[in-house]
Amino acid sequence: MVVKTERGIKSLNTTKEVYPTIKRYIREARIAKQEGTRPISWVTASGIQEIIWTMDNFIALYPENFNGQCAAKQISLPLMEEAERRGLSRELCSYARNTIGYMYGCKDLSLPYPGGGLLEPDFLLLDNGNCTSVHNKWWRIMENHFRVPLFMLDIPILTPTRMNRDNVERHYIDFVISQIKACFAFLEDQTGSRMDMDKFKEVVRLSDRVGELFDQFLELRKAKPCPVGGEDTVVLPAVMVYFTGTKTGVDFFERLIKETEERVKDHEGVIKDEKYRLLVDNIPPFYTLGLFNYFQKYGGVSVAETYILSFNYNWRRMDADIPFESLARKYLAHWYTLPLEEHVELVCRMVEDYEIDGVVCLALRSCKVYTLHQWTLKNALEKRYGIPTMIIELDMVDPRDYSDGQVKGRIDAFMELLDKKKRR
Amino acid sequence: MSLQDRSQRAQELRREGKRIIGYFCCYVPLEFLTALDFVPYRIWANMQEPISEANLHFIPTACHYARSCFNNALKGYYDFFDGVVGAKTCDTFDRMFQVWKYVLKPEYSHVVHTPNANHPSSYTFFRSELKTFKKSLERAAGREISDKDLREAIRLHNNNRRLVRQLYEFRKESPPRISGSELAHTVILAMSLPVQESTRMLEEKMGELENRPRPEPVKPRILLWGTPVDDISLIQLIEECGADVVMDDICVGSRHYWPDVAETDDPLDGLVERYMDKLVCPFKFWDVTTTHRQDVEKRYSYLKQYAKEFGADGAIMQVVTYCAIHALDVPDVRDYFHEMGLPVLTLEHDYNVATFSSLRTRVQAFIETLD
């Protein structure tokens, strides 16, 4: 099955560096594996980079990132079908199906895998801060297949009746701290070297710096015209996932800000005539990122995306001198663990801050955790601001749930609606 | 009483001044509610009515069971609640609870977070969660729970669970004196009553069954696995195809009633143990064991015991569409049943009787192979 897709066309040079940087990282991983110098771990992408970079004596690979790349390379379908042949329902998370299909059938299918394929893991790390139901099972299935040790960092959600990010009950923080410590103990066991407290503090400091820079970058995007669109920013989570807590990450975001600042100074927008400022909710369809550019035909620019926020800690700055406490608070303040009320308020603030004209909700067929409450969010935005919103039904990785003609037809109608509203 | 009228008694009690608390999922520790004289009422979905109002708030590609529960609430079927309590187990129920709270703004609500893993710190955390839940309920009730009250509530619930297990004993007979649908009917009603009344109803049922003659003829015996089923239609469908449903592994059934709370000096010890270690649900991520074999054995060996004790000839694995935690367990559990030598039929369904005709043919064909 061939799906009509388009690649995203970027405005910045810095964002074009992302994939080559990741390719280099994977190449180094391949050498380390061959030479047996550092073990490989498959890690959830939700954000325990500080733990990883503190140890720094193993290589973390991210199946979720791999899945996005497979989708971009248009090779997800046979992998997902392989997982379905093994008895997994087609309605399950397409990320999980893609990785599990790869795990079972990569050699037989022999496709042009990104980075030459995911190197087999020596152990697995799982944190469920941005998805519980699927992540737990998915990592367990991989553990069963590879027969390697696994550590799970269990992140509770901030239960909606009584907490928000400023008011977290003590036992939640203690619970996460004790697991971060247990995770270090597991890694010491796996890698044979000790965790260094000074290094830990330095990594937390660098991680916080990445968060701070990311916030500055978001501020710059509020400019009119918007200097950077969603087609560029969708690659930023990959940088956050691979390099939060490192100098590489800090350097990247400093360059990104510099380039963006220049564009703001020169009033250089994503397109010449920016008419509509759009907010895009949810994970993008990696097999057709050109969808972001499609809005530009009508003068629409994606100036804010919720997806990229789910990898950034933008609440209070972290105190590197109390790294355990700081990290526990960060892990508990994930985009997913937030209570719905707070989530809605955050998106409302984005609508105001970025002066949004229309909201595009990507309703992902197979990602339940990020999509379940989306209609409640949409209703709240419409009610509060009378803002036009559209829902596009598709999937982040599974191209079978995407119909190019239909989606574009709906976008055409939506943009006409925005136009009418603006003329009124 | 028909299942359509299952809330009648709770509504009556509310008119008499009792306070009714709706709860999702068998991970809500009901003992605390009972100790404060709240009436716990399990929140049901609706197999008989299609989802309508909930579609305005919830994406259609979400678990039909969770959406249907919320749909009932939006239709006003739960207007007699004084509050709702959830347990954070699977992501869908968590989101649904949040949307419920956001849209319907219940007077009282609380979520008990159940850790996924059983690390040593998970137990400390869960104990604090129970204490927080207790305090929250005490505030709502305007009085405190003494250890004596809590112990008494534990005894009441243990006794109630023991009676349901005794009722299940009748299904070990061949052919069983109580059909799968009749038992499910009884259990669903039992979950809709205050525990004392539920126990009285079960005792009456037991008395009646003891004097009931054995039915004829012997039919293939089915073990039913999977997502919650709080209606008898699906079980009836299997029975109409010529089989007896003799045992279940679902949360409106054995999962809810099998484990008791140990009567410990500090009642919290027994409660932590039951809700952390003894209850079974695929959301739970047990400690990592060394091999796949050990892991599978640890998680599913009770199914072997059920199959043996209840003499199952085959297993039907039913999963409501979009339930990730069950669907991801299907390959492992299916293989486990096969290893036991049990034929398996896997069904994915929309939790709506209107869509069941396609299931019937498959169930019929499966049961014919068991004859």
Provide the percentage of residues in chain A whose pLDDT is more than 90. Answer: 81
- Of A29-38, B148-157, B359-368, where does mean pLDDT reach its minimum? A29-38
B49-82 pLDDT, tens digit per residue, is 999 999 999 888 899 999 999 999 999 999 999 9
Helix (H, G, I), strand (E, B) or coil at A167: strand
Test B288 with A143 for CB contact under 8 angstroms: yes
Residue with tokens 């004209």: A357
Does A138 map to a domain?
yes
Chain A CB within 8 Å of residue B289 CB = no
Helices and strands (H, E) in chain B, number of each type:
15, 8
Residues 4-43 of A with CB under 8 A from B: none
- Give CA–CA dist B365/A251, Å, rounded: 64
DSSP letter assigned to residue A16: G
Q: Which fold has domain B3-150?
A: Rossmann fold (3.40.50)
Radius of gyration (C-alpha) of chain A in whole angstroms: 21
Give the pLDDT confidence score for residue A7 in this predicted structure.
Answer: 82
Chain A CB within 8 Å of residue B85 CB = no
pLDDT at A424 over 60: yes
Chain A CB within 8 Å of residue B1 CB = no
A40-43 vs A389-394, strand pairing mode = unpaired
Give the pLDDT confidence score for residue B227 in this predicted structure.
Answer: 97
Mutate to test the interface with B, among A95, A161, A181 (most CBs of B within 10 A): A161
Give the pLDDT confidence score for residue A120 in this predicted structure.
Answer: 95
Q: Which residue of B has its CA nearest to A173?
A: B125
Find all residues with CB under 8 Å of B60, minimum gap 6, and list them: B51, B67
Is there a contact between A341 and A160 (Cβ–Cβ < 8 Å)? yes
Give A156's contacts in chain B (Cβ within 8 Å). Answer: 88, 113, 115, 125
- Nearest of A351, A344, A345, A377 to residue A362 by alpha carbon: A377
Test B102 with A344 for CB contact under 8 angstroms: yes
pLDDT at A2 over 80: no
Test B113 with A156 for CB contact under 8 angstroms: yes
pLDDT at A393 over 60: yes
pLDDT at B106 over 90: yes
Does A78 map to a domain?
yes
Helix (H, G, I), strand (E, B) or coil at B244: strand
Task: Return the exposure string of A241-273: e unless at least 16 CB atoms fall within 10 Å of the residue's CB, then b.
Answer: bbbbbbebbbebbbebbebbeebbeeeebbbee
Average pLDDT over residues A183-189: 96
Mutate to test the interface with B, among A372, A374, A395 (most CBs of B within 10 A): A372
Give the pLDDT confidence score for residue B202 in this predicted structure.
Answer: 97
Q: Which fold has domain B216-370?
A: Rossmann fold (3.40.50)
Test A376 with B102 for CB contact under 8 angstroms: yes
Cα(first)–Cα(last) distance of chain B, in Å? 34
- Nearest of A324, A377, A13, A12 to residue A178 by alpha carbon: A324
Average pLDDT over residues A229-257: 96
- Name the packing angle between helices A94-109 and A63-72 (round to 10°): 70
- Give CA–CA dist B13/B138, Å, rounded: 20
Q: Provide the shortest C-alpha distance from residue A50 to chain B (in Å).
A: 21
Give A185's contacts in chain B (Cβ within 8 Å). Answer: none
Give B334's contacts in chain A (Cβ within 8 Å). Answer: 87
CA separation, residue B165 to residues A303, B29, B162, B253, B291 (Å): 59, 19, 5, 10, 33
- Give CA–CA dist A264/A225, Å, rounded: 8
Average pLDDT over residues B28-50: 97
Give the pLDDT confidence score for residue B16 in this predicted structure.
Answer: 97
Amino acid at A167: N
Beta bridge partners of residue B348, listed in sequence order: B319
SS3 content of chain B, % helix, strand, coil (to 5): 55, 10, 35
- Give CA–CA dist A247/A253, Å, rounded: 10
- When the pLDDT of each residue in chain B is averaged and rounded to a whole number, the result is 94
B260-287 pLDDT, tens digit per residue, is 999 999 999 999 999 999 999 999 887 7
- Of A34-38, A98-102, B311-315, where does mean pLDDT reach its minimum? A34-38
Q: Provide the shortest C-alpha distance from residue B86 to chain A (in Å).
A: 10
A140-176 pLDDT, tens digit per residue, is 899 989 989 999 999 998 887 788 888 999 999 999 9
Average pLDDT over residues B249-256: 96
Residues 138-197 of A with CB under 8 A from B: 138, 140-141, 143-144, 147, 149-152, 154, 156-157, 159-162, 169, 171-172, 174-175, 178-179, 182
Number of CB atoms found within 10 A of residue B227's CB: 25
Residues 144-183 of B with CB under 8 A from A: none
Closest partner residue to A372 (CB to CB) among B59, B125, B321 is: B59
Q: Provide the shortest C-alpha distance from residue B331 to chain A (in Å).
A: 6
- Give CA–CA dist B14/B24, Å, rounded: 19
A333-378 pLDDT, tens digit per residue, is 888 788 899 999 999 999 999 999 999 999 999 998 899 999 999 9
- Give CA–CA dist A329/B101, Å, rounded: 25
Chain A CB within 8 Å of residue B115 CB = yes
pLDDT at B12 over 90: yes
Average pLDDT over residues A396-404: 93
pLDDT at A81 over 60: yes
Structure tokens at A33: 């594996």
Does A63 map to a domain?
yes
Task: Return the exposure string of A74-83: e unless at least 16 CB atoms fall within 10 Å of the residue's CB, then b.
Answer: bbbbbbbbbb
pLDDT at B289 over 70: no
Is there a contact between B241 and B218 (Cβ–Cβ < 8 Å)? no
Task: Return the exposure string of B283-309: e unless at least 16 CB atoms fall within 10 Å of the residue's CB, then b.
Answer: bbbeebeeebeebbeebbeebeebbee
Closest partner residue to A88 (CB to CB) among B110, B113, B327 is: B327
Number of CB atoms found within 10 A of residue A236's CB: 23
Give B64's contacts in chain A (Cβ within 8 Å). Answer: none
- Give CA–CA dist A330/A315, Å, rounded: 8
Q: Provide the shortest C-alpha distance from residue A342 to chain B (in Å).
A: 11
Does A271 map to a domain?
yes
Closest partner residue to B90 (CB to CB) among A86, A133, A374 is: A133
A7-66 pLDDT, tens digit per residue, is 888 889 999 999 999 999 999 999 998 998 999 999 999 779 999 999 989 999 999 999
Residue with tokens 């009792």: B18
Give the pLDDT confidence score for residue A311 in this predicted structure.
Answer: 83
Does A54 map to a domain?
yes
Chain B CB within 8 Å of residue A383 CB = no
pLDDT at A314 over 80: no
Closest partner residue to B291 (CB to CB) among A134, A138, A147 is: A147
Beta bridge partners of residue A127, listed in sequence order: A153
Give the pLDDT confidence score for residue B196 in this predicted structure.
Answer: 97
Q: Provide the shortest C-alpha distance from residue B98 to chain A (in Å).
A: 6
Closest partner residue to A152 (CB to CB) among B117, B128, B129 is: B117
Average pLDDT over residues B360-368: 97
CA separation, residue B222 to residues A151, B219, B282 (Å): 37, 9, 21
pLDDT band at A1; cut points 50, 70, 90: low
- Give CA–CA dist B315/B309, Å, rounded: 14
- Give CA–CA dist A138/B328, Å, rounded: 8
Give the pLDDT confidence score for residue A108 in this predicted structure.
Answer: 86
Chain A CB within 8 Å of residue B53 CB = no
Domain containing residue A367: 15-423
Closest partner residue to A175 (CB to CB) among B97, B125, B348 is: B125
pLDDT band at A4; cut points 50, 70, 90: low
Give B84's contacts in chain A (Cβ within 8 Å). Answer: none
Closest partner residue to A154 (CB to CB) among B111, B119, B325 is: B119
pLDDT band at A238; cut points 50, 70, 90: very high
How many interface pairs between A and B have CB atoms less than 8 angstroms apart? 168
- When the pLDDT of each residue in chain A is averaged and rounded to a whole number, the result is 93
Task: Return the exposure string of B139-155: e unless at least 16 CB atoms fall within 10 Å of the residue's CB, then b.
Answer: ebbeeebeeebbbebbe
Does A140 map to a domain?
yes
Q: What are phi and psi of B333, to 5 degrees?
A: -70, -40
ipTM comes to: 0.93
Does A389 map to a domain?
yes
Could you tell me the residue ranges of all domains in chain B?
A: 3-150, 216-370
Give B291's contacts in chain A (Cβ within 8 Å). Answer: 147
Find all residues with CB under 8 Å of B181, minimum gap 6, and list them: B232, B235, B236, B239, B245
B188-229 pLDDT, tens digit per residue, is 999 999 999 999 999 999 999 999 998 889 999 999 999 999
Chain A CB within 8 Å of residue B281 CB = no
Chain B CB within 8 Å of residue A347 CB = no
B244-249 vs B109-113, strand pairing mode = unpaired
Find all residues with CB under 8 Å of B355, minimum gap 6, and list them: B349
- Give CA–CA dist A133/B92, Å, rounded: 8
Provide the percentage of residues in chain A whose pLDDT is more than 70. Answer: 99
pLDDT band at A6; cut points 50, 70, 90: confident
Provide long-range contacts, Cβ within 8 A and 24+ apart, for A401-405: A401/A365, A401/A366, A402/A3, A402/A285, A402/A287, A402/A288, A404/A3, A404/A4, A404/A5, A404/A288, A405/A4
Give the pLDDT confidence score for residue B211 in this predicted structure.
Answer: 93
pLDDT at B5 over 90: no
- Of A43-52, A75-84, B161-170, where does mean pLDDT reach its minimum? A43-52
- Give CA–CA dist A158/A336, Å, rounded: 9
Per the structure, the count of domains in chain A is 1
